[in-house]
A and B are shown apart, each in its own frame.
Chain A
Amino acid sequence: AQTVTQSQPEMSVQEAETVTLSCTYDTSENNYYLFWYKQPPSRQMILVIRQEAYKQQNATENRFSVNFQKAAKSFSLKISDSQLGDTAMYFCAFSAGGTSYGKLTFGQGTILTVHP
Chain B
Amino acid sequence: GAGVSQSPRYKVAKRGQDVALRCDPISGHVSLFWYQQALGQGPEFLTYFQNEAQLDKSGLPSDRFFAERPEGSVSTLKIQRTQQEDSAVYLCASSLGPGFYEQYFGPGTRLTVT
B65 at the interface (CB under 8 A from A): no
A62 at the interface (CB under 8 A from B): no
CB distance from A62 to the nearest CB of B (A): 17
CB distance from B109 to the nearest CB of A (A): 10
Contact, CB under 8 Å: A102 / B45 = no
0/1 per residue, A85-106, Cβ < 8 Å to B? Answer: 0000001010101011111111
Contact, CB under 8 Å: A45 / B45 = no
Contact, CB under 8 Å: A47 / B108 = no
Contact, CB under 8 Å: A103 / B41 = no
Q: A106 to chain B: which residues have CB within 8 Å?
A: 42-44
Given contacts A44-B107, A102-B31, A107-B42, contact A50 B89 (CB under 8 A): no
Contact, CB under 8 Å: A45 / B105 = yes
- Please give me the 8 A-B residue pairs with the lowest Cβ-Cβ distance, nearest first: A106-B42, A45-B105, A33-B101, A101-B98, A102-B101, A44-B107, A95-B101, A106-B43
Binding site for A on B (CB under 8 A): 31, 33, 35, 40-45, 48, 50, 55-56, 89, 91, 93, 95, 98-108, 110
